[in-house]
Structure 1
Amino acid sequence: MMMTTELKRTGLAGVEELYQRRGQRARELSEQGAKVIGYFCCYVPVEFFTALEMLPYRIQGGVNEPITEADAYLETIMCPFIRSAFDLALKNRYDFLDGLVVPHTCDTVQRIYDIWKYYRKPAYSHFINVPHMLQPSSYEFFKQELLTFRKSLEEFAGRKMTDEALTEAVRLHNENRALVRQLYDLRKPDPPLTSGVEILKTMVTGMGLPVLEYNELLRSVIREIRERDGGPGKKPARILIYGSVIDDISFIQLIEDSGANVVMDDLSTGLRGFWHDVEPTPDPLDGIVNRYLDKIYCPRTYRPQAETQEKDLDNRFGYVYKSAADFQVNGVILYVIRFCDTYELDAPDFKSYFQKKGFPVLYLEDDYSAGTLGQLKTRVQAFIEMIA
C-alpha cells in the first residue's frame, strides 16, 4: 500500500514540527517520486488516492499572509479562504502538487477549479459533481460521477485501481477516522485532557500526510496525552465551534487565552469529515457513495424535509446538539467566513435552534485574516464573561 516510511518525529513534538512546516512532508514525498494530488473540501473520496498509492493533500490558505497576487484574478467579494489558497498557489507554495480535484460544494469552489486549471495548468485535474439534493436518483448519479473520477485517476496513474486495493484503503481511512474520534474524546472530561489548539494542529498536520503516517502520528499523540501529567486546566467556559474552514490555530488560541476551553467542533477542517466510517459493501464503491453523499452534514446539502420545522431542524443540527451535550458544552460559537452564502443562509436557523435548546450562541463573521483577531477578541471575551 501507500508510502510506509516512518515519521522522524511523533507525539505532540512531531505535530508541532509538522504544523510549522506544513507541506514539507508532501514536498519530500513528491521529490521521492510520489504523485501528490491537491483537493478542497470533505467530499473528495481520499480512498481513491490511497488505493493508487498517491498522496491526497488538502489545500489550505494562509491567514497570516496578505493576499497580494490573487486579486489580479479574483474579485474581492468572494470567499477569502479560496482567495488566500489561490494566492499561495500563484506564489508557487503548491508547486509540489501534481494535480487538483475539486467537488461542487459551493459556487466559489466550483469556479476556483476552472481558474486554477486555466492559470496553474496542473498535470491532472478533475471536477466532481456532488448532488445537493438527497433523493434516490442522487445516489446513482453520484456513483456514476465517482466511476468517471476513478477512471480518470487510473489513466493518470497508468494502472487500474483494484477492488482489493480500494477495500484496503477504506480500512485504513476508517481506522484514521476512528483514531480522530478517539482524539476528540479526550476533551470530554472536565477539565479536558487536551486543548483545542493541540487538536487543530494535529488535524491540520494530517491534511498533508499519507494515511499510514497520520495513523501512526495519531496513535502516538493519543498515547502521550493519556500518559502525561497536566493539560489545559479547568475553565468555566466549554465551547463548541460550528462553521466551515479554520486551518490556523490563531482563532482557537484567542478563545482559549480568553478563559475558555474549546472542547468540540463541527468544522469542515475538523471533525465533520470524520464522524462516520465507510460501511463495508460487496462493491466498495457503494459504501463510499453512501458515506460521502449522506454522512457528511454540511449546509451545502439539502436533505428531505420533515413534516415540521422543529423536526427539520433536528434533522439538520441534532447531531451537533448531541455532541454539545456529550462534551458538556455551555457556549456555542458560530464561525462564518465573510461572503459564504452557504453558511450565512444557515446561520439564523442554527442560532435559533441552539438558543431554544438553552445554549448561548455567538455569531462571528470573519475575513480569514490574522488582522481581524483584535476585533474578534473583544466579542469573544465578552461572550465568555457572559457564560462563565
Structure 2
Amino acid sequence: MGAIEKFQEIYENRGDYIRGWKEKNPDGKVIGCFCTYVPEEIAYAGGVLTTRLLGSHEIEDATAPHIFGMFCPFCRDVLAQGLKGRANYLDGICDANCCMHLLQAFEAWALNVKPEPKVFRVDMPCQVQNPHAIQFLTGEAECFKKDIEEWMGKKITNDDLDRAIDVFNENRRLMKQIYELRKADNPPITGLECMYMVVSGQLMDKKDHNVLLKEALKELKNRKLDRDPGTRLMIIGSENDDVEFISMLESGMTLPSTVVIDEMCTGTRAFWEEVIPKENRMEAIAERYINRTPCPAKDFPNRIRFQRALKFAKEWNVEGVLTLQQKFCDPHELDIPSLRKFFEENGLKTYFLELDVTVPVGQFSTRVEAFIESLMLDII
C-alpha cells in the first residue's frame, strides 16, 4: 500500500490509528479538537495528540435533545459521534471559540458524553484584525500551556515547544509541496486524494504524517493518472470532507472535472501559514493563528481571505469556483454573496451549493454539469 492509499486508510479508520498511537505512547493523551484554531503545537509539546473531530455523513437522531435542529448539520454530526460512543478513545476535548454552532456541540459533548472528558477552551479572538488580538491570544496560549502541564504532570520547556513547532512547520511545508503539483495541466493527484491527505493529517500524529508525506512526494514525482482532468475547479466555503461529493465532481459526472485547489478548513485554510520562530514561543504561535487565512466568522471588517483565495485561483489556473455552505452556517451564508460578487468581478464564474449531512448526488451532478457547460461555452 502506497502513501496515498494510507492517507485514505487512516481517514476511514481514524479510531484504530488513535488507539494504536495510545498503545505506542502509554504516557500520552488524546484531545479531540472542534476547530482548526486550537493551537495544537502547545498540546503536542506536552505529549498530547490532538485529533480533529469530524462527522460520519450519516443521518442521525441522537443530537435532538441536546442541540437545535436549526444548527448546522456538521456540528450535529460531530456531536453524534460522541453521543454514539464512536470517539471513546479521547481523553479530553478542546474548543477555540470558532462559531456558535460548534460551541454548542462542544458544550453538549462536555455535559453528556461518557466517560466525561477533560475540557479545555482557548478563546480565539473574534476580531483577528484588532491590534490587540495577538496580545490577547498570547495570554490564552499561556493559559492553555499551564492547563496541559497540570493535566500531564510535567513542564513544557522551550525545547519542547521548538520541537513541536518544527514538526508542524515541516508538515505544512510538505503539504504545500504536494499542492504545488496540482498546478500541472494533468495533476498527478486528485482533489479527493488531497482531501484524504489533509484531513488524515488533522487526525494523526504530525510526525507520522510527515513520514507519509515524504513517501507521497516520491510516489507523485513520476505518477501519471489515466483520466481526463477536464475543467479545473476550486472549492471554497464551509468544512467539507464529504467523500461522495468530491468523488461526484471528479468521477461521477459525464463532463470531467478536477478539484485543483481549495479554501476551506479541511484544506489550505488549516495549514498554509507556518509559525515564524521568535524568542517568545507563545507569541510566535499566537501570531500564526491570528495571521493565518481566517474563517469568515473572524474575517472582518476587511475580508482578507478574498484576495488570498483569488491568488490561489489564478496560480492554480482555476476555470470555475464552487462556493459551498453547510446548511444553516451563518458565517458562510453571510460571506458567500460578497465572495461570489468578488470572484465574478475578477473574471471567475461561481456556483453555489448547500451541503447537508448527506448530499443529493444526482441533483448536484446535474447542476454542476450545467455550470461546467456554461464555462465551456464562455471558452468557445
TM-score by length of 1: 0.91
Aligned pairs for 1:145-156 (under 5 A) are 145-156=140-151
1:14 maps onto 2:26 in alignment: no
1:92 maps onto 2:85 in alignment: yes
For the residues of structure 2 that align with 1:30 and 1:70, how far apart are their CA atoms?
28
**In structure 2, which of residues 116, 121, 132 is the aligned counterpart of residue 127 of structure 1?**
121
For the residues of structure 1 that align with 2:40 and 2:2, how far apart are their CA atoms?
23
Q: Which amino acid aligns with 2:155?
A: K
Alignment-derived partner of residue 252 in structure 1 = 246
Alignment-derived partner of residue 327 in structure 1 = 316
Contact 1:191 1:232 in 2 (8 A): no
Pick closer, same or farther for the CA change 1:246–1:386 going to 2, 3 Å: same
Pick closer, same or farther for the CA change 1:295–1:204 going to 2, 3 Å: closer
CA drift of 1:196 comes to: 0.5
For the residues of structure 1 that align with 2:98 and 2:188, how far apart are their CA atoms?
34
Q: Which amino acid aligns with 2:81?
A: L
1:217 maps onto 2:217 in alignment: no
Alignment-derived partner of residue 117 in structure 1 = 110
Summarize deviations over 1:39-76 as a string: whole Å, max 9, x none: 0121001101211121111011011x221311232221
Q: Secondary structure at the match of 1:328?
A: coil
Q: Secondary structure at the match of 1:136?
A: coil
CA drift of 1:304 comes to: 5.1
Q: Which amino acid aligns with 2:308?
A: Y
For the residues of structure 1 that align with 2:226 and 2:234, how far apart are their CA atoms?
16
Alignment-derived partner of residue 284 in structure 2 = 287
For the residues of structure 2 that align with 1:158 and 1:373, how far apart are their CA atoms?
50
Alignment-derived partner of residue 72 in structure 2 = 79
Contact 2:78 2:105 in 1 (8 A): no
**In structure 1, which of residues 349, 370, 375 is the aligned counterpart of residue 338 of structure 2?**
349
1:384 maps onto 2:372 in alignment: yes
Contact 1:332 1:360 in 2 (8 A): yes
Contact 1:192 1:233 in 2 (8 A): no
For the residues of structure 2 that align with 1:31 and 1:68, how far apart are their CA atoms?
33
For structure 2, list consecutive stretches of 5 or more residues without a partner in the other structure: none
Q: Which amino acid aligns with 2:10?
A: L
Contact 2:122 2:140 in 1 (8 A): yes
For the residues of structure 2 that align with 1:35 and 1:26, how far apart are their CA atoms?
10
**In structure 2, which of residues 186, 189, 193 is the aligned counterpart of residue 191 of structure 1?**
186
Q: Secondary structure at the match of 1:218?
A: helix
Summarize deviations over 1:91-116 as a string: whole Å, max 9, x none: 11100000000011111122222211
Aligned pairs for 1:307-322 (under 5 A) are 315-322=304-311
Q: Percent identity?
A: 33
Q: Secondary structure at the match of 2:125?
A: coil
Q: CA RMSD in A?
A: 1.6
Q: Which amino acid aligns with 1:373?
A: V
Alignment-derived partner of residue 35 in structure 2 = 41
For the residues of structure 1 that align with 2:55 and 2:236, how far apart are their CA atoms?
19
Contact 1:190 1:234 in 2 (8 A): no
Contact 1:23 1:208 in 2 (8 A): no
For the residues of structure 2 that align with 1:276 and 1:165, how far apart are their CA atoms?
21
Pick closer, same or farther for the CA change 1:95–1:76 going to 2, 3 Å: same
Alignment-derived partner of residue 175 in structure 2 = 180
Q: Secondary structure at the match of 2:368?
A: helix
Q: Secondary structure at the match of 1:297?
A: coil
1:273 maps onto 2:270 in alignment: yes
For structure 1, list consecutive stretches of 5 or more residues without a partner in the other structure: 1-8, 306-312
Pick closer, same or farther for the CA change 1:124–1:375 going to 2, 3 Å: same
CA drift of 1:243 comes to: 1.1
Q: Which amino acid aligns with 2:157?
A: T
For the residues of structure 1 that align with 2:100 and 2:179, how far apart are their CA atoms?
31
Q: Which amino acid aligns with 2:73?
A: P
Alignment-derived partner of residue 45 in structure 2 = 51
TM-score by length of 2: 0.93
Pick closer, same or farther for the CA change 1:232–1:136 going to 2, 3 Å: farther
Q: What count of residue pairs does the alignment treat as equivalent?
A: 369
CA drift of 1:283 comes to: 1.2
Alignment-derived partner of residue 350 in structure 2 = 361
For the residues of structure 1 that align with 2:374 and 2:200, how far apart are their CA atoms?
34
Q: Which amino acid aligns with 2:230?
A: P
Q: Which amino acid aligns with 2:191?
A: G
More off after superposition, 330-339 vs 189-198: 189-198
Alignment-derived partner of residue 298 in structure 2 = 301
Alignment-derived partner of residue 159 in structure 2 = 164
Q: Secondary structure at the match of 2:132?
A: helix
CA drift of 1:31 comes to: 4.0
For the residues of structure 2 that align with 1:157 and 1:141, how far apart are their CA atoms?
25
**In structure 1, which of residues 12, 20, 27 is the aligned counterpart of residue 19 of structure 2?**
27
For the residues of structure 1 that align with 2:342 and 2:228, how far apart are their CA atoms?
28
For the residues of structure 1 that align with 2:226 and 2:142, how far apart are their CA atoms?
46
Summarize deviations over 1:1-36 as a string: whole Å, max 9, x none: xxxxxxxx6512322322332221112223442311
Summarize deviations over 1:172-217 as a string: whole Å, max 9, x none: 1000000110111111010112110111111222222111100001
Contact 2:29 2:91 in 1 (8 A): yes
Summarize deviations over 1:255-299 as a string: whole Å, max 9, x none: 112210110001111111111100011111111011101223211
